[in-house]
Amino acid sequence: MEIAGFVGMSHTPSWDLSFDHRGPGEQFVAAVGEARSMVRDVACDVLVVFGPDHFRNFFFDVMPSFCIGSGEVRGFGDYSSPKGPLPGHPDLGRFVASRVMENGFDPAVSLNMSVDHGVTQAYAALAADAQVRLLPIMVNCAGGPMPSLRRCHDFGRAVGEAIRAFPSAGRALVVGSGGLSHSPPSASPFDLAVAEDMRDYAVNGRNRAAEFNALREMQSIERRKLGGTGPINEEWDRWFLQTLASHDLEPVLNLSADALLGEAGVGGQEVRAWIAAMGAWGAPVQSSTYDPTPTWITGMGCATAAAAPATKREAS
């Protein structure tokens, strides 16, 4: 199987997946629209989406560093993202899991994997109306002993090697979903500032996910009605995107979790998904757009690359 391209993109509760969006986030939405066209242009058969979970499906009763969806895939349905069965790729998932284990990695494997907007917003934005399958790979960005950025890159490289070794013909596109800089309230059970009820949910909340999600969605709607904003680090976001366009990822891979937290905030830990996808892609990004959007509480970025010639956007 060929890897035909790469997309890295932010996700946010504030976007309803409408492509005629006007106002804050407009440049980001336009850039994702171009990435959506690229998915069609490269005629990909499967999106391999690296993304986080936001305590809808994965909890600290057992929290893997990585989990590969190797069977049925279902969308949780939060924030206007797809709900219910999604077209997975079990054969590819099992093959990738087996190959990366041969190469020194020990991901969890799920034969009945539920994914929230951390994976499904990117999938829906890029390919939901096309006949494209989904291979989800959850990356722990929620807290505790998260995999280092270097480990994420190495893992992604092993995933990329496995995809290319898959014996069936086809074209994959690797996607990193998350970030850029933003800082929602921490929910990590290892954060001493987290309230005890939130800590208990992060560990034991598997049966309360629907209730938790309803509360979070209501809070998000109220914040937007009141014109709330969130802190972002525009300078760091632009540096990150510029580094992805270079031939040297070492400045990013050398960042510790604490350093990343200081620069990009709690939500910035999600750039692990981008870095894993970059490892799978194995080359610099070719184009990027940055749209600092405080009313969406996130620095919104979209970066792309394709094996075939693609129209380039200058970083804005």
**Per-residue pLDDT reduced to its tens digit, 202-256:** 999 999 999 998 988 888 888 888 788 889 999 999 999 999 999 899 999 999 9
Contact assessment for residue 179 and residue 97, using Cβ atoms and an 8 Å cutoff? no
DSSP-based three-state secondary structure for 9: strand
State pLDDT tens for residues 84-140: 999 999 999 999 999 999 999 999 999 999 999 999 999 999 996 778 999 999 999
Quick one: pLDDT at residue 284? 94
Which has more pLDDT, 278 or 229? 278
CB 75 within 8 A of CB 83: yes
Neighbours of 315 (CB within 10 A): 14
Q: Are 290 and 315 in contact (CB under 8 A)?
A: yes
Mean pLDDT of the chain: 93
Expressed in angstroms, the distance from the first to the final Cα of the chain is 33
Query: In CATH, what is the architecture of 2-306?
Result: 3-Layer(aba) Sandwich (3.40)
How far is it, in rounded angstroms, from Cα 305 to Cα 9? 12
pLDDT at 144 over 80: yes
Confidence of residue 313 (pLDDT cuts 50, 70, 90): very low
Strand partners, 287: 304
Residue 147: pLDDT over 60:
yes
For the beta carbon of residue 231, count every other beta carbon within 10 angstroms.
Answer: 11
Strand pairing class (2-9; 171-177): parallel
Asked whether the predicted pLDDT for residue 311 surpasses 60, the reply is no
SS3 content of the chain, % helix, strand, coil (to 5): 40, 20, 35
Distance of CA 20 to the CA centre of its chain: 23
- What phi, psi does 226 have (nearest 5°)? -85, 0
**111-122 per-residue burial string, b: 16 or more CB within 10 A, e: under 16:** eebbbbbbbbbb
Does residue 314 register a pLDDT over 90? no
**109 φ/ψ sector (left φ>0, alpha ψ -120 to 50, else beta):** beta
Query: What is the model's pLDDT at position 262?
Result: 95
Evaluate whether 101 touches 108 at the Cβ level (below 8 Å): no
Where residue 264 falls among pLDDT bands split at 50, 70, 90?
very high
Beta bridge partners of 290: 301
The model's pTM is: 0.94
| pLDDT category of residue 258 using cuts at 50, 70 and 90 | very high
Q: Where are the domains of the chain?
A: 2-306
Q: Is 26 strand, coil or helix?
A: helix
Spatial separation of the C-alpha atoms in residues 275 and 51, rounded to whole Å? 11
- Rounded to an integer, what distance in angstroms lies between the CA atom of residue 141 and that of residue 158? 19
Backbone angles phi, psi at 284, to 5 degrees: -65, 160
CB distance 302 to 240 below 8 Å: no
What is residue 32's three-state secondary structure? Answer: helix
Residues 6+ apart with CB under 8 A from 298: 10, 12, 14, 179, 180, 181, 182, 230, 232, 267
Could you tell me which residue, 184 or 91, shows the higher pLDDT? 91
- Mean pLDDT over 36-52 rounds to 94
Catalytically annotated residues:
117, 182
Confidence check: pLDDT of 312 > 70: no
| pLDDT value at residue 309 | 52
Confidence tier at 184 by pLDDT (50, 70, 90): confident
Backbone angles phi, psi at 21, to 5 degrees: -65, 140
Torsion angle of the four alpha carbons 19, 22, 26, 32, in this order, in degrees rounded to the nearest 10: 0
pLDDT tens across 2-30, in order? Answer: 999 999 999 999 999 999 999 999 999 99
Residue 315 has pLDDT above 50, yes or no: no
Question: For 154-171, how does the pLDDT look when each residue is reduced to its tens digit (9 = 90+)?
Answer: 999 999 999 999 999 999
How many residues can be counted in the chain?
Answer: 316
